[in-house]
Structure 1
Amino acid sequence: MKFIINEKAYMYEQPKTLKEVAIDLKVNQPLAATVNKRLRELNYIPTKDADIEFLSYTNADAIKIYESTLRYVIAMAVHRLYPSAKIRFNYSVSRAMLAVFDSFDGILNQRVLNDIEAEVKKIIDSDFLIERKRISIGEAINIYQKLDMPDKVEILKYRDEDYVNLYECHKYLNYMFGYMLPSTGYLKTFNFILYHPGFLIQYPRAEMDGQIPVFKDEPNFGKALKEITKWGRIIRGNSIPKMNEYAKDYTTSVDFVNMCETKHNHQLNELGDMIESNMDTIRLIGIAGPSSSGKTTFSNRLRIELMTRGLRPVMISIDDYYFGKDRAPKNPDGTPDLEHVEALDIKQFNADMLQLIQGESVTLPHFNFNTGKREKGRTIKISENSPIIIEGIHALNEKMTQSIPKHQKFNIYISPQTQLHIDNHNPISITEIRLLRRIVRDQKYRNSSAIDTMDMWPSVRRGEFKWIYPTQREANYVYNSELTYELAVLKKHAVTQLRAIPKENKHFITANRILKFLKYFKDIDDDIVPCNSLLREFIGGSSFNS
């Protein structure tokens, strides 16, 4: 067999695991590999000629395998120390996971956390093999019942295949709905931080070149996390089987959709109260958040909410202040960086906002994206009960509004924050929910394929880390834009596109991972989704679309 690795050819007479090939070639810190562009575990054995690329800590797919294995080992450690305890993993703040106990005979304090950490390190130091096993659904149900994992038993009811994969490590059995490292010793670094109501798990991040980010507490997210936990109790669990119970018939689907939408209404009402009670000082409302958070629909719904309170908000687009490609800062490859804050006319924006707040008339610019030039726009003048709403990735950036005192600004950070799970040990990525939203929206409104959207996604993510996440601390309010029912609606729009991605395409890995959990959801009809729902921004039919 001939393997092409880093443009060099290597001949092998006998099949070898990727792990063995990596050892032969002294590959530095491999976590996984692609074989003819298919993601493979290091235990995989290629049986024919192949192009192989080993993946390490700077690769997002490899880091997902690292994270899955770390969750597995933590669950294993908890099971060894506290056999009756039930631990649940959630994606959380500051690029970490939050682990909480749903059942624990005691108090989670620093001593308990130290014991868990010591057991995890013991398992890692032992370098136990992690072996994949394929068994029947019936066998899996028996195993999970003996381990008292009813959440895993429930999800198997929605599996089409008559088999299931499990991973065995030193007689411990579990499955993390993803690939795993070949042994526990591959886990090199992690941090635990006691963080009510559980503990945070930090791990290497691809966007940090495999380093663990410095922990930065986000106090504004504390309330949002508390509300997410409360919501989980209200709907009696945030797992796919629970979502499917709500989707079992039309009546329960309608009730569930309306419950989720009313949760959004409550947040809007709370925001309305906060802004109205401070309208003697608030003159500008900034709205920012990562891609596909629903900023456009939210801005319109907030505008309507404020209008019901006798206010007359004015919406101004930051995009109209673009200089154009020729004056934008350059990326390292020489292309224009249109997401850079300096791609905007900051000086003019500040001047216009200040004049409006001072009661003067201002002729706003209008950026014509067809010609790539700024043109003369509308002339406006605002009254004392007309707060200015600005929305965009730089809306919370102080540079954009440095001429306006902080007490005159009210900043809102919007993002979907969820604790939706396949089962207790397998949270669904918030980032992949946003990617799904964008895939559906881009196809609907731009006739772009999933491949086109996924080609752009790394650049979008880089812009988020550079320009959006650092400004979230400026927020006075965190608006949670998740709709717990949304994947049951998005599924039918996205599945066909994701399945159309060929196996040899570089995005097949991501598409296949998303399809693996989407297939478990029962559908909810689009017709049930209200016309002013934030979800309509992505699936179409929004009452705010002109």
Structure 2
Amino acid sequence: MKRGTTMVNLNINGNIKTYAVKNKEQGIRLSDVAKDFEDDYSGYISLAVVNNELKELTTYIKEDSDVTFLDTKNPDGLRVYTRTLNLVFIMACKCLFKDSKVLIEHSLSNGVYCEIHLGRPITEEEVAQIKEKMDKIIAKDYDINKTIYSKKEAIGIFESIGLYEKAELIKYKDEDSVKIYKCNNYIDHFYGYLMPSTGYVKTYDLFKYQDGVILMAASEEDKRIPQKFIPQPKLASIYKESEEWSNLIGVDKVLTLNKIIESGKYGEIIRIVEALHEKKIGQIADIIKQENKRIILIAAPSSSGKTSFATRLCIHLKVNNLNPVSISLDNYFVDRAHTPLDEYGKMDYESIYAINLERFNKDLSDLLEGKEVQLPKYNFLTGKSEKGEILKIDENQPIILEGIHGLNPMLTSSIPDDEKFKIYLSALTQINLDDHNRIPTTDLRLIRRIVRDNQFRAHTAEMTIMGWPSVRRGEEKNIFPYQEQADVMFNTACVYELSLLKTYAKPLLEQIDRKSEAYIEAKRLLKFLQYFVELDDLSDIPPTAIIREFIGGSKIVH
């Protein structure tokens, strides 16, 4: 060993690899280590976990450590890759259209929907110019340098370059430190991590879509080709509607929400949100009445507020002189001994084959024919199906079915499509942190679930986070493929709710030990929640509000 050289032992994916470090004070850079392991990953390495802490590839390791690299097949790794792609896109737009406003809006069909506000619609030719400029920025391989400043310093920097909204949002951060990234004279703040340079973006696509563009990152199946875009016009439409709602309320960013809460004027916002929900549910009930639909199917991913929505829809249907009955799909589970297994060998209660489809369809058909039916009741303690209530419905009396398989044609294969009315729910975030930092819909649902599980199921935040990947796999398989088959979509999100949920979620997330497998995810959620001013006054939230399903105090969910 040469004089002055220090050996650093890294336990990488269970294998010890020793590196000679010439400068002990500096250490060895993770991006250099990652090059030795690129062939071990099918995706692009974009991040690392060092001693159970997420670290950017620009990080230097000075001592023996446990290291796991994350690639674009990992959710955290894909987020970093996509965020870096967003940066390249923003830089290209700013180069081509100096005074443009670039908005990173929301996810759509495995991609990200963005808008470039020029005071006029963007053209296909201009989108091609943006892509060409992005390719040049990637080819130049500009370094992405991160510097940590105090809040006061960061605010001064952004004010000096005219980014006053970004400067003002930073004032609300709980932590005093602020990351500022600089790339080829472009300066920005992201609450998440980035890759070391623009050249790390190897695969992407960009194309015009509606009023904006879609950015597609590397696909999970093959990193050399971009994600495939599958048009989702109904989902895009509900996002557009949510954006219009936000504009109506006057809350499009966290900054404006914070100011409203600080001013004490949040009561009106809550009442407007509730009125919008009530109006839309009433409109859905009117369509069902007008079209004389017998079977109402409600499907939604986890923590979308299915139970509250279904109850409120029942009320509106009764106002329309209908008398709906509700049947729980859970009671049609096959006996536990016959439950299918997932790829990990565990009982897969989210598989459609966990439901007795033959009996379910026969019972539905018999009910619609006016016959008396002995419904099953599933005993979750014994894992067996037992005899439930006897049900007979009147002519034209609708049946409400809510569950993850609601839109899957297999569920109601014996019922003609013209007798079904299909509703898809989701909690689509209506506000973002700022123009360049979006809040994923999945994060909102996870925070809802953390709060609800703690309130009503005695689960810790750690337990909920650890079970979330399995929930997400079930959604990808059983819900999302069918969402565009819905007759209507309904967004259950409330524009103010993250400020409200922060009060409940923050202490739960802070309880997670640094050694826990859930620690990294908890820390990530806390990072973006810190920008929200807490809303702890519940007096304006009615007992029928969907958010009550998660925080408690609901009069319609038991």
**Band of TM-score, shorter chain:** over 0.9
Q: How many residues align?
A: 542
Report the TM-score when normalising by structure 1: 0.96
Deviations, residues 160-183 of structure 1 (Å, cap 9, x unaligned): 444421111111111221111001
Give percent identity, aligned residues only. Answer: 37
> Contact between 1:220 and 1:476, CA under 8 Å: does it hold in 2?
no
Distance change (3 Å), C-alpha of 1:488 and 1:85: same
Residues 1:481 and 2:496 are matched in the alignment: no
Residue matched to 1:57: 72
Deviation at 1:222, TM superposition (A): 3.8
SS at match of 2:191: coil
Matched to 2:543, the amino acid is: C
- Between the aligned partners of 1:145 and 1:78, the Cα distance in structure 2 is 21
User: Which of 384, 404, 408 matches 1:397?
Assistant: 408
Q: 2:351 aligns with which of 340, 354, 358?
A: 340
174-183 vs 326-335, greater mean Cα deviation: 326-335
Equivalent positions of 1:95-494 (< 5 A) are: 95-101=110-116, 103-204=117-218, 212-250=226-264, 252-279=265-292, 282-494=293-505
What is the CA–CA distance in structure 2 between the aligned matches of 1:502 and 1:207, rounded to whole Å?
34
CA apart distance, 1:368? 1.2
What is the CA-CA distance between 1:544 and the residue it aligns to? 1.6
SS at match of 1:200: strand
SS in 1 for 2:206: strand
Please give the alpha-carbon distance, in whole angstroms, between the structure 2 residues aligned to 1:309 and 1:346.
Answer: 31
Distance 2:224 2:543 in 1: 43
Residue in 1 aligned with 2:538?
526
Q: Is the 1:414–1:481 Cα contact (8 Å) retained in structure 2?
A: yes
Q: Is the 8 A contact 1:77 1:123 kept in 2?
A: yes
What code does the residue aligned with 1:17 have?
A: R
CA contact (8 A) 2:220 2:227 kept: no
Equivalent residues in 2 for 1:40-79 (5 A)? 40-79=55-94
Distance 2:277 2:291 in 1: 22
How big is each residue's C-alpha offset from its partner over 1:291-314, in whole Å with a ceiling of 9 and x where there is no partner? 000001100010011011110000
The normalised TM-score by structure 2 is 0.94
Q: Secondary structure at the match of 1:375?
A: strand
- Structure 2: which 5+ runs fail to align? 1-7, 22-26
SS of the counterpart of 2:80?
helix
2:96 aligned with 1:81: yes
Indicate how the Cα distance of structure 1 residues 80 and 237 shifts in structure 2: closer, same or farther if over 3 A, else same. Answer: farther
C-alpha contact 1:291 1:460 (8 A) present in aligned 2: yes
Q: Which residue identity does 2:13 align to in structure 1?
A: N
Aligned with residue 517 of structure 1, among 509, 522, 528: 528
One-letter amino acid of the structure 2 residue matched with residue 246 of structure 1 = I
Query: Structure 1 residues 345, 162: CA separation in 2 closer, same or farther (over 3 Å shift)?
Result: closer
Write the distance in 2 (CA, Å) between the matches of 1:211 and 1:449: 40
* Alpha-carbon distance between aligned partners in 2 of 1:292 and 1:61, rounded to the nearest angstrom: 21
In the other structure, the counterpart of 1:17 is: 29
Tell me the CA shift for residue 58 of structure 1: 1.2
Q: Distance in 1 between matches of 2:343 and 2:421?
A: 35
Which residue identity is paired with 1:531? P
Segment drifting more, 22-31 vs 212-221 = 22-31
Consecutive unaligned residues in structure 1, runs of 5 or more: none
Matched residue of 1:176: which SS?
coil
What's the RMSD between the two structures over aligned residues? 1.7
Does the C-alpha gap of structure 1 residues 23 and 400 become closer, same or farther in structure 2, counting only changes over 3 Å? Answer: closer
Aligned to 2:3: none
* 8 Å CA contact 2:430, 2:493 repeated in 1: no
**DSSP-derived class of the 2:407 partner:** coil
Alpha-carbon distance change, 26 to 351 in structure 1, aligned in 2, over 3 angstroms: closer
CA displacement, residues 130-158 of structure 1 (integer Å, 9 cap, x when unaligned):
11012343443343234433321220221
Distance in structure 2 (CA, Å) of the matches to 1:96 and 1:248: 35
2:246/2:495 contact within 8 Å kept: no
Task: State the Cα distance separating 1:25 from its structure 2 match.
Answer: 5.0
Q: Whole-Å Cα distance in 2 between the matches of residues 495 and 138 of structure 1?
A: 24
Offset from partner CA, 1:184-207 (integer Å, 9 cap, x none):
111011111211221111113558
| Structure 2 counterpart SS, 1:92 | strand
Return the offset for 1:316. 0.3
Aligned partner of residue 443 in structure 2, secondary structure: helix
Residue 83 of structure 1 aligns to which amino acid in structure 2? Answer: K
Q: Secondary structure at the match of 2:410?
A: helix
Q: Tell me the equivalent position of 1:545.
A: 557
Letter in 2 for 1:22: A
